[in-house]
Structure 1
Amino acid sequence: MKLTKYTHSCVRLERDGNVLVLDPGSFSEVEEALNGASAVLITHEHADHLDRERVLAQMEANPGLVLYAPAGPAAQLRTAAAGDGSGAAERIFDVEPDTAFTVAGFDVQSFGGQHALIHPLVPLVANVGYLIEGTVYHPGDSFVIPNGLTVQTLLVPIHAPWSKVGEVIDFVIASGAERAYPIHDALLNERGLGVAEGHVTRFGELYGTVYRHLSAGESVQV
């Protein structure tokens, strides 16, 4: 399975001609990531994970593209797409935590349910993490780890307004993943990214996780 990272938290997975994209947000290369895609998974409603206008434009242009998201953003997207003549509204589906489904030839499991706390005065929103093919885990904006499963490829929110580097390290350690790659990195400059990734690399190795930096547009086999 080919994994391509785009800016921030957007990831594209390709296998046997099928394409699945996660979190094409406002910082990301949405059109490039969704080119030829069959399905989109959205972890939560924040714009850096879901660029509504650009995603809906791609759904209108591609009548085979389906989208799964938590109930709130899914309903908002259906409302926005209603009456546009593309049928996009009928291709947008709700996802609840602790469910399993198959889309675009990929087996998907969902976990979590709640965005990490930013501040008590900032309202919480729903957040669903996705485990793809039992191997690649995208947590969205949370540090929830799939229960009862060992993740092989972990996508790590390397920096966020809701986290500190110690929590990122603990997330990597607790996952027990074989390998890890960054997501949620668009808010850091090169110096900050180097510091955060240095800690994750060093402590990850102590617990058996190999962390590797991926730049936007770079691909790996997982």
Structure 2
Amino acid sequence: MLLTKFTHSCVRLEKDGAVLVIDPGTFSEVEEALRGADTVLITHEHPDHYDAERLGVALSADPELTVHAPGQVIEKLAEHITDTDRLHAVSADTTFTAGPFSVATYGGQHALIHPLIPTIANVGYVIDDAVFHPGDSFTVPHGLTVPTVLVPLHAPWSKMSEVIDFIIATRAQRVYQIHDALLSETGFGVVEKQVKHFSQVYGTEYRHLDTRESVEVHTA
């Protein structure tokens, strides 16, 4: 399975001629990421994780494109198309298939930003028991050790110690960064130095992926 990182939290997975895209948000290269896509997974309704306008255009242009997302996202996307049977509301602790991909969902709630800011639904996705995209959450998949984990590297709702603890808790073989659009070059240097060090201490390989960089992810 080929994994390609786009800006911020958007990733594209390709397998057996099928394409699955997770979180094509406003910071990301949405049209490029969605080119030839069959399925889109959205973790939550924040615009840096899904661009309603550009995803709506893609849905209108491709009658075969399907979306799985929390209910709030599905309700908004339904305003863009008439054949809403292509839109699927998902919650945590479920499984489904998307073409050749198997998908399991985890979590359920966005990480706390501030007590005065209401929390929203957030669904993390495990693809083929091989890749975990947590969205905006540090939920660790229960009952499963996923070899490749995408870690939210920097966010208004997190601190570096929580990033490190999340990586340690997952026991992943390898980790790639997402949720990084707000970091400067200097910020990357500071955060990744510590994250890489502590990942290695606990037996996890941390590797930085540039925008549009691809890596092979091995599935069982």
Q: CA deviation at 1:18?
A: 0.5
> Tell me, what secondary structure is at the counterpart of 1:127?
strand
Q: Secondary structure at the match of 1:81?
A: coil
Report 1:156-195 matches (<5 A).
156-195=151-190
Secondary structure, in 3 states, of the residue corresponding to 2:102?
Answer: strand
Cα distance between partner residues in 1 of 2:99 and 2:193: 36
Gapped regions of structure 1 (runs ≥ 5): none
Q: Secondary structure at the match of 2:32?
A: helix
1:81 aligns with 2:80: yes
Q: Which residue does the alignment assign to 1:23?
A: 23
Matched residue, 1:136: 131
- Which amino acid in 2 is paired with 1:102? T
Aligned to 1:62: 62
TM-score normalised over the length of structure 2: 0.97
State the Cα distance separating 1:81 from its structure 2 match: 1.8
Shift of 1:90: 2.3
Distance 1:217 1:82 in 2: 29
Q: Which residue number in structure 2 is paired with residue 91 of structure 1?
A: 86
The superposition leaves residues 12-43 of structure 1 with CA deviations (integer Å, 9 ceiling, x where unpaired) of: 00011000000000000000000000000000
- 1:38 matched residue in structure 2: 38
Q: Structure 2 CA distance, aligned partners of 1:183 and 1:163?
A: 13
Structure 2 CA distance for aligned equivalents of residues 133 and 172 of structure 1: 20
Counterpart CA distance in 1 for 2:62 and 2:188 is 36
- Of 41-50 and 56-65, more deviation after overlay is shown by 56-65
Instruction: Return the alpha-carbon distance in structure 2 between the equivalents of residues 62 and 104 of structure 1.
Output: 16
Pairwise CA distance, 1:128: 0.2
Counterpart of 2:80, as a letter, is A
Amino acid at match of 1:17: G
Matched residue SS, 1:72 = helix
| Aligned residue type for 1:77 | L
**For 1:196-215, what aligned pairs fall within 5 Å after superposition?**
196-215=191-210
Please state if 1:127 is matched with 2:126: no
Sequence identity, in percent?
59
Give the Cα–Cα distance (whole angstroms) in 2 for the partners of residues 138 and 197 of structure 1: 19
Which residue is 1:3 aligned to?
3
Q: Deviations over 1:53-76 (max 9, x none)?
A: 000101111111000001111112
**1:131-159 superposed Cα distances (whole Å, 9 cap, x missing partner):** 00001000000000000100100000000
1:116 aligned residue: 111
> Is the Cα contact below 8 Å between 2:60 and 2:81 reproduced in 1?
no
Residue 82 of structure 1: how far off its partner (Å): 4.3
Aligned counterparts of 1:67 and 1:31: Cα–Cα separation in 2 = 15
Q: Deviations over 1:142-190 (max 9, x none)?
A: 0000001001000000000000000000000000000000000000001
